[in-house]
Amino acid sequence: MDKHYDSKAADRRREDRPNHIQIGEVCGNKGWENGVEVTKYADPDCWRITWCDREDGEPQEMIFHMQGIVESKSLPPMRKLSEKNKKKARHTRQWIVISGLGSQKFNSNCDGIMDVYALFARLVDGQGCIELKNDKNRMAVELGSRMFTPKEEAPGVEWVEVHKDMDTNGFMEWVRSSDLELVYGEDNVVKYGEEYTNRDGKKRTEDIKPQKIHVGDLVDKWIKARALDQLNQKAGSARLQLKKRTLSDDDEVEGTRKRFVLMSADDSG
């Protein structure tokens, strides 16, 4: 760890956001599923894992964390499709494959992912599961988020403004003006930021382009698992925000040039 790392401040941040937790840590505890609920939401129809804050009684969506090295990725901006292939836009996703270079923490987090999907499978039929990969005897996992939501799944969702760095090729605007009946709503938004830490431990975040994420970067994924209430659709999706950090607080993976955080688009705390 960096000599300027403020462990007490990190503990305070963890206490301020009790619904944020390392996925391997929570799922490694026997009976963890008894402390959360799987809640049905609309627009779009999906199931989410929530935790209830005892102080105000309001349910909060659980945000799971895991760290790893970027092995491969598909991030915006996306290329336009031909008129012949335009229906493929319905399945456009942004994703990152990460590995843990054999670290036990990463393997534990992968086990936690399987536990999360087992929880969904008890309530929602026909759910697929994230595929764990094996690269040179090292475990890896792909997590991502769909770019668009079919309007029939979310009739009340409005198209939100697309940041110019997300659509330099005009792909998303092309989808919007097409007859594909897709929407880019708040639930599809992915924010990209660069987080800096000064000597006093204070942080600031600046927007970056998605192109600044590279293979070999160290990332911290903030994952909101979702189960779609439809057959033949995979359970869950990672809500992504990318932040570059000048300070690494994960000493299990070494030799990386940068550290990014992938977090929920609607939880920027």
Q: Which one, of 133, 142, 105, 130, lies nearest residue 22 by Cα?
A: 105
d(CA 213, CA 257): 11
CA angle 248, 250, 254 (to 5 degrees): 85
Beta-sheet pairing, 191-197 with 241-245: parallel
Q: Whole domain around residue 97: which residue ranges? A: 7-262
Beta-carbon count within 10 A of 139 CB: 20
Residue 99 lies in a domain: yes
Percent of the chain scored above 90 by pLDDT?
16
Residue 115 lies in a domain: yes
Residue 267 lies in a domain: no
Residue 1 lies in a domain: no
* Count of domains for the chain: 1
Q: How far is CA 28 from the centre of its chain?
A: 20
Task: Provide the β-strand partners of residue 20.
Answer: 63
**269 residues of the chain, pLDDT tens digit each:** 233 333 344 334 334 444 456 777 777 777 777 777 777 777 777 777 887 665 666 777 777 778 888 899 999 999 989 888 999 999 999 888 889 877 888 888 888 888 887 787 777 766 666 678 877 778 898 888 889 999 998 899 999 999 888 899 999 999 999 999 999 998 888 777 677 777 888 877 677 788 888 888 877 777 777 776 554 344 333 333 333 333 333 333 333 334 444 443 333 33
Residue 2 lies in a domain: no
Residue 197 lies in a domain: yes
SS3 assignment, position 6 = coil
Residue 241 lies in a domain: yes
Contact 234, 128 (CB under 8 A): yes
Residue 96 lies in a domain: yes
